[in-house]
Amino acid sequence: MVKDLSVSLCGLRLRNPVIPASGTFGFGLELADSMDLNVLGGISLKGTTREARFGNPTPRIAECTAGLINSVGLQNPGIEALVSDKAPALRRIYGGVIIANISGYSVEEYAFNCARADACPAIDILEVNVSCPNVHGGGMAFGTDPQSAAAVTKAVKAVTRKPVFIKLSPNVTDIVSIARACEDAGADGITLINTLLGMRIDIKKRKPVIANKMGGFSGPAVFPLALRMVYQVAHACRIPVMGCGGVARAEDVLEMMMAGATAVQVGAENLRNPTACPEIIGALPALMERLGIDSLQEIIGIVA
Amino acid sequence: MVKDLSVSLCGLRLRNPVIPASGTFGFGLELADSMDLNVLGGISLKGTTREARFGNPTPRIAECTAGLINSVGLQNPGIEALVSDKAPALRRIYGGVIIANISGYSVEEYAFNCARADACPAIDILEVNVSCPNVHGGGMAFGTDPQSAAAVTKAVKAVTRKPVFIKLSPNVTDIVSIARACEDAGADGITLINTLLGMRIDIKKRKPVIANKMGGFSGPAVFPLALRMVYQVAHACRIPVMGCGGVARAEDVLEMMMAGATAVQVGAENLRNPTACPEIIGALPALMERLGIDSLQEIIGIVA
Amino acid sequence: MEKRIFTIESNEPVARDTFRLVLRTDAPVAICSGQFVDIAVPGYYLRRPISVSDVLPDGVILYYKVVGEGTLVMSGMVPGDTLELLLPLGAGFHPEKCVSDALLVGGGLGAAPLFLLAKELLAAGKKVTAVLGFKRADEICLAEEYRALGVPVHIATLDGSAGTKGFVTDAIATAQPVFDRFYTCGPLLMMKAVCTTLDAPGEASMEERMGCGAGFCYGCTLQTQSGPRRVCADGPVFDKEEILW
Amino acid sequence: MEKRIFTIESNEPVARDTFRLVLRTDAPVAICSGQFVDIAVPGYYLRRPISVSDVLPDGVILYYKVVGEGTLVMSGMVPGDTLELLLPLGAGFHPEKCVSDALLVGGGLGAAPLFLLAKELLAAGKKVTAVLGFKRADEICLAEEYRALGVPVHIATLDGSAGTKGFVTDAIATAQPVFDRFYTCGPLLMMKAVCTTLDAPGEASMEERMGCGAGFCYGCTLQTQSGPRRVCADGPVFDKEEILW
Ligand SMILES: Cc1cc2nc3c(=O)[nH]c(=O)nc-3n(C[C@H](O)[C@H](O)[C@H](O)COP(=O)(O)OP(=O)(O)OC[C@H]3O[C@@H](n4cnc5c(N)ncnc54)[C@H](O)[C@@H]3O)c2cc1C
Ligand SMILES: Cc1cc2nc3c(=O)[nH]c(=O)nc-3n(C[C@H](O)[C@H](O)[C@H](O)COP(=O)(O)OP(=O)(O)OC[C@H]3O[C@@H](n4cnc5c(N)ncnc54)[C@H](O)[C@@H]3O)c2cc1C
Ligand SMILES: Cc1cc2nc3c(=O)[nH]c(=O)nc-3n(C[C@H](O)[C@H](O)[C@H](O)COP(=O)(O)O)c2cc1C
Ligand SMILES: Cc1cc2nc3c(=O)[nH]c(=O)nc-3n(C[C@H](O)[C@H](O)[C@H](O)COP(=O)(O)O)c2cc1C
Ligand code: FES
Ligand code: FES
């Protein structure tokens, strides 16, 4: 029996729910030679700020059990390069959903960047990152408090007609109150989770592995936490959720969807296996067959 | 060269910093036949409430990548059984530091239980659990807010002369503010972390693996997060920290100590390997030799 | 309880999704019927509890069904591979409480732990009858091994593809075995039917997801007539009166 | 860039803590000097980047030093074991930019990628001199292999246990080699000394902790004269003028 992998996200049809997560797939272009990008349901691009950024000092990467810490610190070429160069170039070779991941240091910068992205026809969805733990003063602070998350959402919604997903931080006491605040402020969807603030120490050198001491921890290790938050938010909000965090195989995609995710992002796993996404997508039909699932759309949030 | 594994914790001398974490070593007695308990630096006993509790329905355990979710829900025989039976029985066969782990449903219950534990000569340290994610209305709520954590601390300090460690939850936005509130309220030390709220779904059965849906996630997967919190709290407070979360080998003990922990608790790892603690302790001297460490006390918080 | 490395002597399919695993170690093994081992499967965090079906002077024989990832990995292991086991675990059956005639009622792989019990009962001079239930004929295992001991075996299958069509209780009703005590292991509903219909004293082996498998994490607690009991340490075998069905 | 399974043909210690690893696969391998492979070490989350020291029609030769857990696991692997590699990765050396005489300056295992470069240069008719620095005599590796190619090799050791006592720069000062271009790989401080003292054009192979190893995670970025560059994809080899020492 033919399996229907497609899902509908804010009126957009994704051929399948699998999307490389922001920051773990560059601007898509870097991987165009290594795989057929067009098998991907969507692509979330590297987080972009108004100005180009070098990011944090290196080392930016630390290995962990079943995951890694990154402290890239939003290295990016700036919003103009995104809208005039990167996104259009990707659109020329990729027919799926293109998600611009937008960061900022102030509510105004978020709005400015989103307005620019709104004007770029190559971009389908805006994913507003209020959760980057790697940048001082920007990012995560907005995502740790319902009022500021709502303020960013409102400002951004005012400047765009494209669907806006707010990407939330797991480093919070009450994820539901923040997601609800975003929904009430007009968000079209929620992406979660971003990375957890983590740290490793090199016991030979007696210093942190990461130059910036701490960084964002993700990978299969965080899956149970991400799944819990996806479940909580999907059940507390009416808007769709893109589930993210530790997804590494087809089974994880189904688990996230059963918890309530409409689409599923794959992050760290791309770093250790650049063809993780096509492999996961390729494994879905047989797994669905084994579990008696004909259409993925059916299982979204099936766990009460 | 002989290695000095001993550490000093609130004036108590531990022969080494390795302590089985509460809930993962019963009341110690259960393991007396399987190992020489006296190699352990200390033992943190199963969390105890005023009344005996059955705990949560089963399944209470779910496997995860590099960890597990538990939803035991504070099954325990009650404070009277602890002070009149369990702790004295352990004291008869164990010479190290005995830590009573105290829970409660109200500030009054915490104080009541601590007063009872204070009167029990077998108990050396009170570890007050304001962070259990598995019990409604009790536990975690107290640990997610500086005021209530401080209120519990104050109430408990008023009824005991024994050192009081407050055991904090990682499910919070700002661990430092909570730790500081406990310190200001008179805590003698901080234990962290307790488990992260997590979830797994059985994709065959399309329902949560855990009867209670969610539970406390721990194991090697959470180590980078625990290490970060230990580092933050150890650097923000003057009172000692017992580091806990994902410790599975001698290397992890040193990493926790370099981050600032004076003692290190081992939780989930005991479940998959009941002799984890003696094995870790056994591996410490050779590891110290390789790294040029003569005394563990020296490396506490050595990473600035 | 101790941790020990065993070497796989053989690991063969014997019925639908069912494997017989023979493990050897370098020292004597002491374990009784109804007790279990907890197997560290490479790559998985928790151990897998499996009942002991037979004891060798320096080894154990286990039967396991491939139901998930860990047992799937186990099914791919080959002779010479090693496994780390925790054993002996749990409180097993009480063959000594049988006066003269025992009835063993197994459902599916419940037949496995009852096999070692049969041997213990026979060694103590008791008479033994086995009633084994399976979904279908291709799942039957251990029946010949019981017969080789001289134990009469009555089979029930749900689809009637072998023996009595129906449940073990149907096969018991048909066979009318003589017994003063029964022992059962299998799916919960089967054991409930057996324990609530047979009116001799009896024991049932319970199952629960486990953390430590050794009595100190309270992950596997069962509410019983006499209060909370750990399946891994106070059980897995309980008197039928203890169980709150 | 692709993922491919290789089989270990040999994995032998050749110097203090240093192993030579010969890997074979089932199809032709195309990779150039200065490029690297990224090895999935069983049990570890991230891959380990290792430079290619020589190319076989259907394989690669790598040299690695045991410095941590991943390389320790690798050192325990035996012929017949398999490894999954990502390759080819990175932008390598530019042998074509050498006019006639090349100087290769290696520090420690920096000698490894320069070996494949030496072969490429010789094949293009260039003359090659190698200066290799090590901490002590028992760490020397690849010197004989260079000599077997006909390349004159000058050794420097920090403790004077072999060759010139001191740094590679001391050995260069002593040997006074003729060259119009140099290529260097080794510890950062060594490369800095080489790049800032030699006044021919030159290239250096940089090292950084990596996430993806393939240019899309921005984990390995180096600030250069011409802006941020990814060590894994824009490098690891950079013109000496690019590097902000
Ligand atoms: C005391 C006892 C004795 C047992 N004896 C046998 C036996 O002789 N033969 C046999 O085939 N099976 C036996 N089982 C069941 C066996 O433990 C599970 O089938 C097995 O653990 C499943 O592992 P998995 O990795 O394939 O499944 P997965 O679903 O991938 O396992 C995930 C987790 O759930 C646990 N789990 C899954 N199913 C069960 C279950 N039914 N009971 C307990 N834990 C489970 C696993 O141990 C693991 O921690 C016994 C169980 C218990 C408690
Ligand atoms: C482009 C490039 C080429 C290299 N070529 C060689 C070579 O030919 N031979 C050789 O012996 N080594 C080489 N290295 C260094 C080699 O990658 C590390 O020594 C190795 O990854 C250490 O792994 P480990 O597990 O033993 O160390 P651990 O410290 O246990 O590793 C932990 C993590 O840190 C990373 N890491 C540790 N040290 C380094 C390092 N120096 N550079 C990059 N990542 C590191 C590991 O990859 C892993 O992700 C090269 C590095 C790079 C970037
Ligand atoms: C190297 C790296 C870079 C990342 N950069 C971004 C980013 O720019 N913007 C963003 O919203 N999230 C970023 N993330 C977070 C991921 O998109 C994802 O939310 C997180 O890693 C959890 O998923 P995972 O467990 O699958 O990695 C980054 C993650 C990694 C590992
Ligand atoms: C089965 C189980 C039971 C636990 N019970 C308690 C408890 O009663 N009281 C408590 O403070 N923490 C309890 N914990 C938390 C641990 O003490 C520890 O803080 C946590 O598991 C993190 O450490 P780990 O990653 O080493 O497991 C329990 C953990 C587990 C796995
Ligand atoms: S599984 Fe730990 S007490 Fe039974
Ligand atoms: S390691 Fe990912 S870009 Fe270089």
- Are C95-203 and C206-245 in the same CATH fold? no
A218 ligand 3 Cβ < 6 A: yes
Q: Which residues of B touch C86 (CB under 8 A)?
A: 274
Verify whether residue B64 is a known catalytic residue.
Answer: no
Q: At what angle do helices A250-259 and A223-236 cross, to 10 degrees?
A: 30
Nearest-CB residue to D219 (from A30, A61, A274): A61
Residues 40-69 of C with CB under 8 A from B: 40, 44-47
Partner A contacted by B133 (CB < 8 A): no
D207 ligand 2 Cβ < 6 A: yes
Q: Which residues of B touch A224 (CB under 8 A)?
A: 62, 64, 67, 69, 196, 198-200, 217, 221
Which CATH number does C2-89 carry?
2.40.30.10
Question: Which of the ligands is closest to the CA of residue C220?
Answer: 5
CA A82 to centroid of ligand 5, rounded, Å: 54
| Tens digit of pLDDT at every position of chain B (304 positions) | 789 999 999 999 999 999 999 999 999 999 999 999 999 999 999 999 999 999 999 999 999 999 999 999 999 999 999 999 999 999 999 999 999 999 998 999 999 999 999 999 999 999 999 987 666 554 567 888 899 999 999 999 999 999 999 999 999 999 999 999 999 999 999 999 999 999 999 999 999 999 999 999 999 999 999 999 999 999 999 999 999 999 999 999 999 999 999 999 999 999 999 999 999 999 999 999 999 999 999 999 999 9
Cβ-based contacts under 8 A for chains B and C? 93
Domain boundaries, chain C: 2-89, 95-203, 206-245
Residues B201/A303, Cβ–Cβ less than 8 Å: yes
Residue B303 CA: distances (Å) to CA of A58, A217, B149, B262: 18, 20, 28, 13
CA B271 to centroid of ligand 4, rounded, Å: 11
Q: Kindly identify which residue of chain B lies nearest to residue A63, measuring between CA atoms.
A: B224
Query: What proportion of chain C, given as a percentage, has pLDDT over 70?
Result: 100
Which CATH number does C206-245 carry?
2.10.240.10
Choosing from A120, A132, A237, A244, the catalytic residue is A132
How far A63 CA sits from the closest chain D CA (Å)? Answer: 6
Query: What proportion of chain B, given as a percentage, has pLDDT over 70?
Result: 97
Which atom from ligand 6 is nearest to the alpha carbon of D232?
4
Mean pLDDT by 10 residues, chain D (245 residues): 96 97 96 98 97 97 97 98 98 98 97 98 97 97 97 96 94 95 97 96 98 98 96 97 94
Asked whether the ipTM of the predicted complex exceeds the cut of 0.85, the reply is yes
pLDDT tens-digit readout, A54-76: 999 999 999 999 999 999 999 99
How far C86 CA sits from the closest chain B CA (Å)? Answer: 9
Mention the CATH class of domain C95-203: alpha beta
Partner D contacted by A219 (CB < 8 A): yes
Which atom from ligand 3 is nearest to the alpha carbon of A194?
19
Nearest-CB residue to D47 (from A25, A70, A272): A272
Which atom from ligand 1 is nearest to the alpha carbon of C72?
26
Going by CA atoms, what residue is nearest to atom 18 of ligand 3?
A: A194
Going by CA atoms, what residue is nearest to atom 14 of ligand 4?
A: B23
Say whether D228 and A34 touch across the interface (CB within 8 A). Answer: no
What contacts 24+ positions apart, CB below 8 Å, involve A85-92?
A86/A27, A86/A29, A86/A45, A87/A27, A87/A45, A87/A117, A87/A120, A87/A122, A87/A123, A88/A120, A88/A122, A89/A27, A89/A29, A90/A27, A90/A28, A90/A29, A90/A43, A90/A45, A90/A122, A91/A121, A91/A122
